[in-house]
Amino acid sequence: MGEARIGIYGLGTMGSALALNLAEKGIRTAVTNQEPEWIAPFLTEAGPLAANLVPSETLEDFVASLATPRTILFMIPSGTPVDAMIERLRPLLGEGDTLIDGGNADFNDTRRRVADLEGTGLHFVGMGVSGGEEGARHGPSMMVGGTDHSWTQLQPMAEAIAAKFNGDPCVAHVGPDGAGHFVKTVHNGIEYADMQIIAEVYGLLRDGAGWDAARIGALFGEWRKGPLDSFLVEITAEVLGVTDPETGRPMVDLILDTAGQKGTGRWTVIEALKLGQSATAIEGAVAARSWSSEKAARGVASGMLPGPDGAELPDEATLEAAMLAARILTHAQGFRVLAAASEEFGWSLDLARIAEIWRAGCIIRSALLDDLAGALRGEMPEGHLILTPAFRAKLAETIPALRTTVIAAMQAGLPVPSLASALGWYDAMRQATGTANLVQAQRDFFGAHGFVRTDRPGATHGPWHKG
Ligand code: 6PG
């Protein structure tokens, strides 16, 4: 039997950083990689930390170097590579061993893998890891799914390497099977919306007010000292201040305006819809990335589709408050999706704990998350964050600014899909009597789908086609 407490398969950027983080915390860590030639340079990079790393070139040696029950973390591309690795490792493993997928996996795949391994004695854990390379190396936020047995093995190591918020490790066993990957997916959905809201305000200042990158960066730098304090606002301020050494122009002005996406934002929207929810601010962000990829069409359309001549934009304080309102609504939508999934899959997610482990280490870490954690610990009327006393008060203060900003953007002809969708949701939620009565009447008229009357229970039909 080996002595390494955990093994990492996959020495790419994230795998290497996590292995070094574990080694630094005094945890003996077995390492291997599909291409064995990556191992030696990694050990050189590890320097003195290599004393806590146990390298192997074959899977057999890797497995043999681990203490039992074994804990193996895959840091490999999600999808079929994970299935292939499970199949290769299965014959080498025994009762009580745990396989962990630390990638951004589709939680449906994670649930399938957990079900496939049921009864084999092996455990499968989907673990969301946030914070990029820097986080993985010095303290990520981790959202762990799977069994209590696996968590017992992993907990001391995960807590040792996790980011800390006032000493509290930003890692939790959020629920069984796919819960960890689901929570990470929603984290990324919020990440998309958070980034998009920032980009929309950047667009208003650049295209509406004619500000240059450095000036906008300086404003974001100011904002991060207040209630908008967050990692994403901080890096935005920094990014906007960087100059291209070759041309002397702001770096951001030289970057092609087509955004990539690997899928987690889209998954959040898809899963929300499947759960009968709708995270519209996140959907606005996914849509904006998709539209951004139609670069050629936008170029043509810009000369063909007229818009307004421009309009006066709100002042900086109004934009700041508008961003805060939109961020609150985005997070509220994300947590609503988590609550719906928890109910659907019987996960008993502790939403306050999820907010707590997002306060440090992860990409969406922000001052707002600490406030959210507090509100989620208290009573949530109708399961909605926006109805908690703390957030009702914050929204009462900031929604007028969001409304002013959205109106101004629309009058100026500048796109704000996430800001506008967030406001649309807020206004829909305020309507005690909405307009779905008419939709129901239409459905019944053309398809006899039935409706419920307000003055008596049970489904009925309308007197539409009488003569
Ligand atoms: C994180 C990030 C990380 C990754 C995103 C990027 O939490 O550390 O979310 O997982 O940067 O998946 O996603 P896109 O490529 O889809 O923007």
In this structure, are residues 90 and 120 in contact, taking their beta carbons and an 8 Å threshold?
yes
Ligand 1 touching residue 132 (CB < 6 A)? yes
CA separation for the pair 187, 196 (Å, rounded): 14
Q: What pLDDT sits at residue 467?
A: 64
Give the residue numbers annotated as catalytic, written as ranges: 184, 191
pTM of the model: 0.97
Ligand 1 centre from 187 Cα, in Å? 9
Ligand 1: atom nearest CA of 259 is 17
Contact 388, 375 (CB under 8 A): yes
Burial of 317 from C-beta contacts in 10 A (0-12 / 13-18 / 19+): exposed
Whose alpha carbon is nearest atom 4 of ligand 1?
A: 132
Q: What is the pLDDT of residues 69-102, one digit of tens each?
A: 999 999 999 999 999 999 999 999 999 999 999 9
CA distances from 99 to 8, 236, 314, 318, 400 (A): 10, 37, 52, 49, 50
Candidates 260, 271, 334; CA nearest to 109 is: 271
Give the pLDDT confidence of 23-37 residue by residue, as tens digits: 999 999 999 999 999
Count CA atoms within 13 Å of residue 275 on its CB side. 23
Cα distance from N-terminal residue to C-terminal residue, the chain: 85
Indicate whether residue 362 lines ligand 1 (CB < 6 A).
Answer: yes
| Residue range 318-362, pLDDT digits in tens | 999 999 999 999 999 999 999 999 999 999 999 999 999 999 999
Q: How many H-runs (helices) and E-runs (strands) does the chain carry?
A: 19, 12
Rounded distance between C-alpha atoms, residue 296 and residue 289, angstroms: 14
Is 125 in contact with 101 (CB distance < 8 Å)?
yes
**Per-residue pLDDT in tens (0 to 9) along the chain, 467 residues:** 579 999 999 999 999 999 999 999 999 999 999 999 999 999 999 999 999 999 999 999 999 999 999 999 999 999 999 999 999 999 999 999 999 999 999 999 999 999 999 999 999 999 999 999 999 999 999 999 999 999 999 999 999 999 999 999 999 999 999 999 999 999 999 999 999 999 999 999 999 999 999 999 999 999 999 999 999 999 999 999 999 999 999 999 999 999 999 999 999 999 999 999 999 999 999 999 999 999 999 999 999 999 998 789 999 999 999 999 999 999 999 999 999 999 999 999 999 999 999 999 999 999 999 999 999 999 999 999 999 999 999 999 999 999 999 999 999 999 999 999 999 999 999 999 999 999 999 999 999 999 999 999 999 999 998 76
Task: State residue 1's pLDDT score.
Answer: 59
How far, CA to CA in Å, does 24 sit from each of 41, 89, 157?
Answer: 18, 27, 11
Burial of 431 from C-beta contacts in 10 A (0-12 / 13-18 / 19+) = exposed
What separation in Å is there between the alpha carbon of 95 and the centre of ligand 1?
A: 34
Mutate to test the pocket of ligand 1, among 191, 267, 268 (most ligand atoms within 8 A of CB): 191
Q: Is the CB of 261 under 6 A from ligand 1?
A: yes
128 CA from centroid of ligand 1 (Å): 11
**Which of 264, 365, 366 has most ligand 1 atoms within 8 Å of its beta carbon, as the pocket-test mutant?**
264
Which of 58, 3, 5 lies closest to 34, judged by CA? Answer: 58
